[in-house]
Structure 1
Amino acid sequence: MTFRINIQVHDNNKRLFFTTKAVQLTRIVMLIAAIAAPTCPAFAETSKKQEEEQQQQQLNRWVYEALEEKAQTLTHTITNSHYDISLNSLPTLPFAHCESKPDITFLTAMEAGSQRIKVECATPNRWSLYARGHISLFVPVLVATRTLNRGDPINDNDVTLREMDISQLRRGYFINTDHFANQQLSRRVRAGDVLTPHSLQEAHLIRRGDRIAIVASNDNFTISMPGEALEDGRLNQQIRVRNLSSGKTVRGMVSGNNEVKVL
């Protein structure tokens, strides 16, 4: 809206009068423009866009908070752990407005690592969308301090703790040496490698050719005879042994170091 005023006067008093009137008219025009602005299509479009951006930011905050809550729960179950999370930008939908906090469901079975998230809203419109995030969970895990060979037992000085993101350790890990009793390496491990359940196996308590004790017992008596192992054996494994007294070969179950109970 444009007002054009052409006034020509020669009297100084009249010039001041018309100048004052022009200023007042300008103020009126500005007031009318301010009142009319919200009804202007361009202004309404800008206002709508700002509202959608605010709604999108709120939606991102809700999903991020849910992701962080899950990460915090994980740290409570593992000592000396901490986390880092990231959330991919949610898809921008013109109808993705929710009057209250939407239902947020984690669809990923993995506790840490890549997360697939479903977001559902019932009011004012029913809609759902999917988001992706990631939880990195850092935990001190056991790694080898030197190269260890297949069949080696694991001692305390063979391993040390190193902080790693366990979401990347798909084959598992150990946080202490409690599981290493009667265990040996099932494969070669290099210095710095993470010890996993797949890299361990039960240690052989008896080796072929070992002199052993063959034990037979019941509720009333126990008899022990000298023997020789004809096979390697782990705890509770059945192996063939030779009775050195009779020369007979029998089968028995490994019950301890250099001890076999006959069946």
Structure 2
Amino acid sequence: MKGLVLTIVFLLIFTVYCFANEMLIEAIEKFAVEKFGPEATIVSLHIRSSPSSFDKIQLISHNRSKSFFRFLFKAYREEKFCGYVRIECELAIFANVLVVNRTVRSNEVLSENDVTFQKVNLLALNVEHCTDIDQVVGKIVRKMFRQNEPLDARYLMKPPDVRAGQLLTARMTIGPVVATAQVRAMRDAYIGEKISVRNVSSGVLIEGLLQEDLTVLVIGG
């Protein structure tokens, strides 16, 4: 008889425990979906402290370190506050993103052979991840990426339209006359940017706007 009573008590405790766990999991799943979308999932969950039993919870705060979260819930039993529930868990959104398959140094140009897709937890990243090969191939990296590190779009740039030292044609309009001169670019530049160039014949340094045809329109001309 005593054994039967103990079994019943155990089953009741186990049922209450499972109910409480389900309640907490549902609350965190709701938080994850509302904040990050339906792809968000719980990877791990650990209850740090909790009342022995409760039938209602209220999320009052959370903090985050990348994909790791700490939650603080108020717990209630029969509508009366009975303590706090503290939970640590990891959330994830798994996706295939582009990573480098070798160490790539700053100012290198990426080729298709330099990158590969790898499934990662996006919540663990602090990058603007890339999911399209066209986002990265031919781009110049502006920081070092180590092997298997996800690429960050913030540090990828298209090659400049003009390289330092490149010979260009500068033109200036003076009334009905258009004057041209051969000049040398002093730095890398993109179309639409202001660029400093040096007149090859006179050595004079001038400034102009780089045009789509890669001529330099002298400012003030």
State if a TM-score over 0.5 links the two structures.
Answer: yes
Unaligned runs of 5+ in 1: 1-33, 38-42
Mapped to 2, the partners of 1:158 and 1:256 lie a distance apart of: 30
Distance change in 2, residues 1:160/1:106 (3 Å): farther
Q: Superposition pairs for residues 229-244 of structure 1, below 5 Å? A: 229-234=185-190, 237-244=193-200
Larger Cα-atom Rg = 1
Mapped to 1, the partners of 2:121 and 2:86 lie a distance apart of: 25
CA deviations over 1:204-227 (Å, ceiling 9, x no partner): 33222101233558xx99876532
Q: Which has the higher contact order (CA 8 A, sep 6+)?
A: 2
Mapped to 2, the partners of 1:132 and 1:166 lie a distance apart of: 19
Q: Is the 8 A contact 1:106 1:115 kept in 2?
A: no
Q: Is the 8 A contact 1:116 1:132 kept in 2?
A: yes
Q: Superposition pairs for residues 38-187 of structure 1, below 5 Å? A: 47=9, 51=12, 53-71=14-32, 74=36, 76=38, 83-94=41-52, 96-98=53-55, 101-104=56-59, 107-108=62-63, 113-121=67-75, 123-126=78-81, 127-146=83-102, 148-177=104-133, 179-180=135-136, 183-187=139-143
Q: Could you tell me the TM-score, scaled by structure 2's length? A: 0.70
CA deviations over 1:105-152 (Å, ceiling 9, x no partner): 562356x61122222245521243321111132210102245544323
Q: CA deviation at 1:52?
A: 5.2
Distance change in 2, residues 1:146/1:85 (3 Å): closer
Q: CA RMSD in A?
A: 4.0
| Paired AA for residue 19 in structure 2 | Q
Q: Is the helix fraction higher in 1 or 2?
A: 1
Q: Is the 8 A contact 1:210 1:258 kept in 2?
A: no
| Paired AA for residue 21 in structure 2 | N
Give identity over the alignment, percent.
18
Mapped to 2, the partners of 1:239 and 1:195 lie a distance apart of: 30
Q: Is the 8 A contact 1:141 1:162 kept in 2?
A: yes
Q: Could you tell me the TM-score, scaled by structure 1's length? A: 0.60
Q: CA deviation at 1:61?
A: 1.0
Distance change in 2, residues 1:182/1:252 (3 Å): farther
Higher mean displacement: 131-140 or 183-192: 183-192
Partner of 1:204: 160
Corresponding pairs, count? 211
CA deviations over 1:42-81 (Å, ceiling 9, x no partner): x79x85x7655543332221111233344556464xxxx6
